[in-house]
Amino acid sequence: MSVATRIARLRAQIEQHNHRYYVLDDPNISDAEYDQLFRELQALEAQHPELITPDTPTLRVGGTPLKIFREVQHRTPMLSLNNAFSEAEVRAFDARIREALGVDEVEYAVELKFDGLAVTLTYLDGVFVQGATRGDGSVGEDVTENLRTVRDIPLRLNEPVAELEVRGEVLMFNRDFELLNEAQRARGEKEFVNPRNAAAGSLRQLDSRITAARRLSFFAYGMGRCAGIELPGEHHSQMALLQRLGVAVAHQRRLVRGASGLLDYFADIGRIRAELPFAIDGVVYKVNDTALQQQLGYVSRAPRFAIAHKFPAEEASTTLLAIEIQVGRTGALTPVARLAPVFVGGVTVTNATLHNEDEIRRKDVRINDVVVVRRAGDVIPEVARVVLEHRPADTRAFVMPSVCPVCGSHVAKAEDEAVSRCTGGLFCPAQRKQALLHFAGRRAMNIDGLGDKLVEQLVDANLVRTPADLYRLGLLAVIELERMGEKSAVNLLAAIEHSKQTTLARFIFALGIRNVGETTAKDLAQHYGSLDKLLAADEADLLQVRDVGPVVAHSIRDFLQEMHNREVIEQLRACGVAWQEHEMRVATGLPLSGKTFVLTGTLSSLSRDAAKEKLEALGAKVSGSVSKKTDYVLAGTEAGSKLDKARELGVTILDEAQFMALLAPLADFQSAG
């Protein structure tokens, strides 16, 4: 037998055993026999590296660490689901569908809502070639190497389908989560709060060998692009097809009819939820017939044909021991309840937010009260209400401090606001820490590994006062920090160095100017093209920027008038933070430059995302809301309030045919550009 044939046989055998072990939970050889096959394959591949293919199971143990994850543009967007929390909302969903389709009863495919992370897997000619996270739905991160280590993701499908995108959820089984935390404890490392966070942390490892050592699982729930195989016209059958191809699909799925079928399924799953070996946060209902799905279409980023029916937030009661104050990035003082530890929603909770002073008064929360704590999904736990029947005699009312508990500055409360703020600005260490965390954040300068614990230490040790200080950190100072090995220190400095090359939009966002979110930062970058132009702009000038109103313009001026902020900006530039400046070419040189479009309703010949892409390529700006500055509203079928607003403001409205007619003469420009 040739080496190539032996290798091919070994691979097929190993994958078959993997499938039996990880998917069917029914192995038919011993671990030792399996290891022998695996080692033989590894040895042959080491001798014949030219025979290594992307689907070889030896790659499942992880490989060379990456520096960063590449970005992946999803070819079909990864959508989200609308939620229903009550029987009435489920009935309303069914009624909407029946009405839209003009039928008396609808068949639904119903399945579990896995509490993990969405990923998309691309197979070409049946071979797994790329896997990515959902990201913002349009652009995700390339985590191919990590996903290869997930044993129930087949590296090769049972049939050589030309192209198939499998959509599903990566999660960690409860048992694997417990084992992982035991190991973390034994090594003195941080434990994960729940299986979802453990799965997310494991999938976003730059070193795939770490992912390989964590046991992740996968279940498919849908498909993206597909070519070269005839797809059944029903969601339920598509899932059966995936299963036939070797992809893991959870078996608790069913076909039901009508709202009563949906609600029965919800009740049934609620009963077995605690026995499932993994976490779910509800169930999902999907119109089974895919032609009807298309007919129903989408509203913004979610399909009309599907809905997630979520389990109610979990609640538990406990004693409120104290109310402490947390100071946020903008100085907002948030009262936080310190609680006697209580297990709720899958984690032990010791803190819960009380939002602000008015909320405390409204709910009549006092120190020493017995309170109900609520936690839903991944959101911050909150104090829902007081159990007045159990109020002890010795409760104390909470008083908002008049000085900041961190820096002692005066606390101010604007008349029209519920929040009190510390007036210390960046003099206040708490605000400084939050500002640094924001600066380093993923959507800002993206400094990997600079989390809250580290920022805390850097500020407390007086190593870092402003963002610019980050770029002056030396290895020796960093190594001195608690729990910091030489390798982590080198990695941190590399991540800081790496962040120097950025974009103007990220830089503006990273500055943390009040009221300047990511979108406004992008608008400002787009409008001015260079930082110096932005620095020179006065308020009247800022008002010319799309979507910038008086409040935002004022915040920007306030921020830039502060000498301290100017200095930090100059220091950052001096440290080598840089980006490509573009000279307003985009804003003036293209056929639709300076025009703002709003898209609404469903289009028949292209998706809204595709229309947006076309418009942006031609220089137009696509905005989410209609205002006086809108030039055109493109209205598809079932356009709603945006269309009304456009009529009200007298904005030019285009239907799909008029839109296509507008684009047609510009087609050359697009292909040329």
Residue nearest to ligand IVH (CB): 118
Q: Looking at beta carbons only, is 80 or 368 nearer to ligand IVH? A: 80
Question: Which position among 222, 424, 529, 636 is part of the footprint of ligand IVH (CB under 6 A)?
Answer: 222
Q: Looking at beta carbons only, is 161 or 239 nearer to ligand IVH? A: 239
Contact stretch for ligand IVH (CB under 6 A) within 3-11, 303-311, 606-614, 638-646: 303-311
At a CB cut-off of 8 Å and minimum separation 6, what does 101 contact?
Answer: 292, 295, 296
Distance of closest approach, residue 341 Cβ to ligand IVH, in angstroms: 29
Give me the 29-68 binding string for ligand IVH, x by CB under 6 A, dash otherwise.
----------------------------------------
Contact stretch for ligand IVH (CB under 6 A) within 62-70, 105-113, 346-354, 650-658: 105-113
Q: Looking at beta carbons only, is 248 or 284 nearer to ligand IVH? A: 284
Q: Looking at beta carbons only, is 270 or 451 nearer to ligand IVH? A: 270
Q: Does 306 bind ligand IVH (CB under 6 A)?
A: yes
Reference 69, options 233, 206, 257, 214; nearest CA is 206
Query: What φ, ψ does residue 315 adopt, rounded to 5°?
Result: -130, 150
Question: Which position among 15, 45, 94, 111 is part of the footprint of ligand IVH (CB under 6 A)?
Answer: 111
- What is d(CA 452, CA 441) in angstroms, rounded to the nearest whole number? 10
Q: Does 134 bind ligand IVH (CB under 6 A)?
A: yes
Q: Does 169 bind ligand IVH (CB under 6 A)?
A: yes
- What is d(CA 197, CA 185) in angstroms, rounded to the nearest whole number? 16
- What is d(CA 19, CA 323) in angstroms, rounded to the nearest whole number? 52
Q: Does 284 bind ligand IVH (CB under 6 A)?
A: yes
- What is d(CA 605, CA 655) in angstroms, rounded to the nearest whole number? 12
Beta-strand ranges (E) seen in 476-517 are 501-502
- What is d(CA 177, CA 185) in angstroms, rounded to the nearest whole number? 12
Q: Looking at beta carbons only, is 111 or 145 nearer to ligand IVH? A: 111
Distance of closest approach, residue 89 Cβ to ligand IVH, in angstroms: 15
Q: Does 114 bind ligand IVH (CB under 6 A)?
A: yes
Give me the 202-221 binding string for ligand IVH, x by CB under 6 A, dash otherwise.
-------------------x
Contact stretch for ligand IVH (CB under 6 A) within 108-116, 263-271, 621-629, 651-659: 108-116
Give Rg (Cα) of the chain: 28
Distance of closest approach, residue 191 Cβ to ligand IVH, in angstroms: 24
Structure tokens at 447: 């400094």
Helices (H) and strands (E) in the chain, counts: 27, 26
Q: Does 555 bind ligand IVH (CB under 6 A)?
A: no
Distance of closest approach, residue 13 Cβ to ligand IVH, in angstroms: 32
Residues 62-91 that bind ligand IVH (CB under 6 A): 79-81
Contact stretch for ligand IVH (CB under 6 A) within 110-118, 316-324, 333-341, 422-430: 110-118
In degrees, to the nearest 5, what angle opens at C-alpha 204 toward C-alphas 327 and 450? 35
CA 110 to chain centre: 24
Q: Looking at beta carbons only, is 119 or 568 nearer to ligand IVH? A: 119
Distances (CA, A) of 87 to 78, 84, 264, 461, 472: 27, 8, 11, 54, 57
Question: Which position among 308, 493, 543, 587 is part of the footprint of ligand IVH (CB under 6 A)?
Answer: 308
The residue type found at 170 is: V
Taking a C-beta distance cutoff of 8 angstroms, is the pair 110, 260 a contact?
Answer: no
The 10 Å Cβ neighbour count of residue 134 is 20
Structure tokens at 47: 């001798």
Distances (CA, A) of 338 to 353, 355, 381, 382: 9, 13, 12, 11
Q: Does 113 bind ligand IVH (CB under 6 A)?
A: yes
Residues in the chain: 673
Active-site residue list: 113
Q: Looking at beta carbons only, is 303 or 512 nearer to ligand IVH? A: 303
Q: Which residues pair with 108 in a beta bridge?
A: 256, 287
Distance of closest approach, residue 441 Cβ to ligand IVH, in angstroms: 22
Binding interface with ligand IVH (CB under 6 A): 79-81, 111-114, 118, 134, 169, 221-222, 284, 303, 306, 308
